[in-house]
């Protein structure tokens, strides 16, 4: 029987001295790599050379205007500067997976409706390195 990992323990921190981002409801991260075609005349199949890697993703939260993590993400967007980001799919717990690196926050969306919580979403761009929480 296959087993999996539940996302309920996931966590996000930001900044050089990491601040936890409060009320995270989910996050996503996707990696890609450039490719350059190297096929020459006479070849019978296409061939490629791998290039630079890239990453992008998003962080979704219930909005807390006084949260240090939310403030750091908003400041990164306003300044247009890289900020340190750490994603913890299984929680910020020793021996668990982490994705770390510097990213640019390139979008923020705020949603408020009459019958639900106010939510905020941040999109980012930058490659994150997979490691293990120490």
- Answer yes or no: is pLDDT of 111 > 90: yes
DSSP summary character for residue 75: H
pLDDT tens-place string over residues 83-94: 999 999 999 999
Average pLDDT over the chain, rounded to an integer: 95
Of all residues in the chain, the percent with pLDDT exceeding 70 is 99
- Cβ atoms of 95 and 127 within 8 Å: the answer is no
pTM (predicted TM-score): 0.89
Its CATH architecture, for the domain 7-132, is Roll (2.30)
pLDDT tens-place string over residues 21-68: 999 999 999 999 999 999 999 999 999 999 999 999 999 999 998 999
Integer Cα distance of 81 and 23 in angstroms:
24
Integer Cα distance of 58 and 61 in angstroms:
10
Q: What are phi and psi of 21, to 5 degrees?
A: -90, 120
Per-residue confidence band for 16, with pLDDT thresholds at 50, 70 and 90: confident
Average of per-residue pLDDT across 118-131: 97
Per-residue confidence band for 4, with pLDDT thresholds at 50, 70 and 90: confident
């Amino acid at each position: 029987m296959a087993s999996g990992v539940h996302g309920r323990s996931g966590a996000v921190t930001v900044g050089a001295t990491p601040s936890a981002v409060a009320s995270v409801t989910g996050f996503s991260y996707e990696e890609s790599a450039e490719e350059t075609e190297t096929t020459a005349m006479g070849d019978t199949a296409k061939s490629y050379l791998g290039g630079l890697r890239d990453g992008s993703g998003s962080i979704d939260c219930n909005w807390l205007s006084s949260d240090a993590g939310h403030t750091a993400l908003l400041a990164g967007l306003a300044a247009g500067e890289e900020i340190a980001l750490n994603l913890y799919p299984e929680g910020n717990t020793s021996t668990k997976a982490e994705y770390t690196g510097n990213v640019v926050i390139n979008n923020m969306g705020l949603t408020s409706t009459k019958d639900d919580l106010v939510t905020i979403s941040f999109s980012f761009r930058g490659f994150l390195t997979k490691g293990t929480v120490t």
